[in-house]
């Protein structure tokens, strides 16, 4: 279980662009430290409080299996919300130019000069 949960956490960090390029040569602790420098400290809590104790010490760390699962689920949920949010932002409707343009200004009544596209340019 530790490896699968760790890989899920790495997937989220990678999708958010937080992983260093040389990650294959780094330990989980080094990866977590680099990710923390980039603004996300929860990977460090996962590594120190759960992954290392569960993987290498075969003991319970500060975080239980359930707490570690919730932490990774929260990271995944934030990533999913970040992917959905931009799609929900409504783009302003593009207004087509009117086929017929007024010849006088609506505010002052001054005659308007034709635009280049009305000249056929």
Identify whether the C-beta of residue 74 lies closer than 8 Å to the C-beta of residue 81. Answer: no
Query: CA nearest 5: which of 92, 93, 86, 74?
Result: 74
Encode the chain (121 residues) as per-residue pLDDT tens digits: 678 999 999 999 999 999 988 888 999 999 999 999 999 999 999 999 999 998 888 888 899 999 999 999 999 999 888 776 555 555 555 555 555 556 667 777 777 776 666 555 5
Residue tagged 């992983």 (tokens): 19
Domain edges within the chain: 2-88
Predicted pLDDT at 118? 59
For the chain, the maximum distance between any two Cα atoms, rounded to a whole number of angstroms, is: 84
Q: What would the DSSP string read from start to end of 13-77?
A: HHHTT-S-TTGGGS-HHHHHHHHHHTT--HHHHHIIIIIHIIIII-S--SS-HHHHHHHHHHHHH
**pTM, entire model:** 0.65
């Amino acid at each position: 279980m530790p490896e699968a949960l760790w890989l899920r956490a790495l997937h989220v960090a990678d999708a958010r662009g937080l992983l260093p390029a040389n990650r294959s040569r780094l330990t989980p602790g080094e990866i977590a430290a680099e990710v923390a420098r980039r603004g996300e400290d929860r990977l460090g809590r996962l590594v120190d409080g759960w992954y290392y104790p569960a993987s290498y010490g075969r003991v319970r760390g500060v975080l239980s299996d359930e707490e570690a699962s919730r932490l990774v689920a929260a990271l995944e949920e934030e990533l999913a919300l970040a992917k959905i949010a931009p799609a929900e932002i409504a783009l302003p409707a593009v207004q087509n130019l009117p086929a017929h343009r007024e010849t006088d200004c609506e505010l002052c009544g001054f005659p308007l000069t034709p635009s280049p596209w009305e000249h056929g340019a």
